[in-house]
């Protein structure tokens, strides 16, 4: 049985799934898997995303959504990012109630373990999975599996260089997947040796772009976001590279917006630079 399907059967019983940890990429992959399985099991389900990292007051919108009857389905599905950002009794009680009543499907994705007032999220009524940043052997196992899926082959020396390269990044799983995508594109199904690998991975540029992407996402003021983007483009940062890097460091509504923009780009209805400015402005 596929893991996403297996965990969804648990959701049907537990009703709240709590995913947490610094590994944004693997958490987001699991959220998407759960939502896909959810849609397969209940095509009429109402699904909404509430990002409390972006605005902690949206817990009120989540409360309203869960309290109103659905016209199409008995169960609603809610994805919540940053559950602990609203340390409010009414919000905590709502989440506790959802865990016990089993009325709706609630998927929570947080960057850190729960604060003191939210420790109930680690309780027996809730399915919990931690996504710590990978390193060492765990990172190698993850990257080997991803490399197989991309059809990328390394010789022994190149594989060691690749691992060292990825270990130097923050958010290593996201960086590893991004670099494997590049390797798959440029290797043309041939085994990659060290010389070929070094021609594919542009270490300094990649790290710089990653830092720029993180700065844009973490900046709260629109004007400063715009300045960061304009400076990056003036310094000849590739818009496609920056856009694809942003995809790996955002979550919640930002992730939905970039996914929508990606569809427009791939269908020829938008350019990368246009999509970047739209993302920053909105």
Q: Are residues 246 and 264 in the same domain?
A: yes
Q: Are residues 7 and 126 in the same domain?
A: yes
Q: Are residues 107 and 182 in the same domain?
A: no
Give the mean model confidence (pLDDT) for residues 190-200: 89
- 143 or 238: whose pLDDT is higher? 143
Domain that holds residue 26: 3-130
Q: Are residues 92 and 125 in the same domain?
A: yes
- Among 130, 159, 178, where does a domain finish? 130
Contact 261, 275 (CB under 8 A): yes
Per-residue confidence (pLDDT) for residue 205, from 0 to 100: 56
For the cut 90, the answer to whether the pLDDT of residue 120 exceeds it is yes
Q: Are residues 182 and 218 in the same domain?
A: no
Phi and psi, residue 192, nearest 5°? -90, 125
Digit-coded pLDDT (tens) for 86-107: 999 999 999 999 888 777 899 9
The least confident of 87-101, 109-123, 225-239, 268-282 is: 225-239
Quote the mean pLDDT of the chain: 85
Contact 175, 210 (CB under 8 A): yes
Least Cα distance to 126 among 228, 208, 19, 250 occurs for: 19
> Domain containing 77 — which CATH number?
3.40.50.300
Digit-coded pLDDT (tens) for 59-81: 999 999 988 877 766 778 899 99
- Among 201, 225, 251, where does a domain finish? 201
């Amino acid at each position: 049985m596929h893991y996403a399907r297996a965990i969804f059967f648990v959701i049907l019983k537990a009703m709240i799934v709590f995913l947490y940890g610094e590994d944004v990429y693997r958490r987001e992959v699991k959220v998407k898997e759960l939502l896909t399985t959810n849609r397969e099991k209940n095509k009429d389900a109402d699904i909404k995303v509430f990002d409390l990292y972006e605005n902690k007051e949206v817990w009120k919108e989540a409360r309203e959504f869960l309290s109103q009857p659905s016209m199409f389905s008995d169960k609603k599905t809610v994805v919540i990012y940053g559950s602990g950002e609203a340390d409010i009794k009414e919000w905590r009680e709502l989440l506790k109630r959802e865990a016990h009543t089993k009325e709706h499907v609630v998927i929570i994705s947080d960057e850190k373990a729960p604060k003191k007032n939210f420790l109930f999220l680690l309780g027996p009524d809730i399915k919990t999975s931690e996504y710590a940043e990978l390193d060492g052997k765990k990172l190698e196992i993850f990257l080997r599996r991803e490399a197989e899926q991309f059809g990328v082959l390394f010789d022994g020396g190149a594989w060691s260089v690749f691992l060292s390269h990825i270990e130097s990044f923050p958010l290593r799983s996201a960086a590893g997947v991004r670099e494997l995508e590049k390797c798959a594109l440029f290797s043309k199904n041939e085994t990659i040796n060290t010389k070929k690998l070094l021609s594919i991975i542009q270490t300094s540029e990649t790290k710089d772009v990653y830092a720029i992407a993180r700065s844009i996402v973490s900046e709260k003021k629109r004007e400063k976001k715009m300045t960061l983007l304009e400076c990056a483009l003036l310094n000849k940062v590739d818009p496609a590279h920056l856009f694809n890097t942003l995809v790996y460091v955002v979550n919640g509504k930002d992730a939905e917006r970039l996914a929508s923009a990606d569809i427009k780009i791939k269908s020829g209805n938008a350019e990368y630079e246009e999509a970047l400015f739209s993302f920053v402005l909105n």
